[in-house]
Structure 1
Amino acid sequence: MKTNDSIFHTFDANELKALQENEKGFFAMRVHLKDRHPETNEILRGAIQEFTFQNLPHAFSEYARLLKEGYKECALQPSYVAGPTGIFITLFMERPKKDQAIDIKVLDEEVEARYRANIDKQNREIEDRQVNLMLEQARKKREQEAAQALADEEAAIRAEVRTLLGAA
């Protein structure tokens, strides 16, 4: 964010909070350690955990255990795949709130670090543009001064030559 008296970007707690809330929204929809960032391919944290079981009785017993551990049902539907060795059942469940809270704390810290790094990067770019502009202005001024000095020197030499040749 910019202040009124400076073109530099400054830290804004409200902007940071909005960025963190946005990231938490994505977190709530992601499958933990399975979904990847579209640009960096980094494995991402998420509120949803995927479980795959080889048979239905095992899936039911694990489902009951997971509920006791604090996992909750989520909107993603289970999937069933029949293979040569049996049926594979994949369940998606919301991770326990205490586990999510740990990841959210880390996410908040990562978002803040990226936000601050972005501010620093933008400010360096602003400074670099201004430095380059001022260097270009100084170069043009030196060129103009050099051209004027050369023109002045030429005029002085011409005057001297005219005087020597008796044309003055």
Structure 2
Amino acid sequence: IGSTFGWSKAKDPESIIDIMQMLGRKLPRVPQYLFSSGKKPKGIKGVHFKRLPSLKEARRIYSSCKVWFLASLQEGFGNPILEAMACGCAVVSTDCGGPSDIIEDGVNGFLVEVGDTETMVDKIMLLYNNEQLRNQICANAIETVESYSWPKAVDKLEGYLTTIYDNEHR
């Protein structure tokens, strides 16, 4: 189980620490991973922390996790979500902006209310313990990741522009 970690208020570091502590009590033998551009948080024992991992290291960390979570108060596009999905992680995120553009709740991941650490832990536990559900979520997530390729992005943009042009010239 893993997450990215940041000290800015928007990343909600307190919730990440709380979630890791709850998961550590519920799943004491399950490895937990955090990576960040900042320093390691205090108060979480047994968590593997990597500061500024290389792309290769980040891929290894994502690939070693069954579930990845994002507990931000607000988030833009959410690259870590797509990165985790691409590496085979089931994803749980707060519904904080960008993630809701990527995650369809219950289909390719789960969205929870901002600040609801108990529901976040429940969804992480559900995905961790239910292999069939996790595999289905991950299969759907791979389709999501594939829809974010450059050629598909260009096709979408071209479609939007064509629609705008057609609507203006009727």
Q: Does TM, normalized by the shorter one, top 0.5?
A: no
TM (normalized to structure 2)? 0.24
Larger Rg: 1
TM (normalized to structure 1)? 0.24
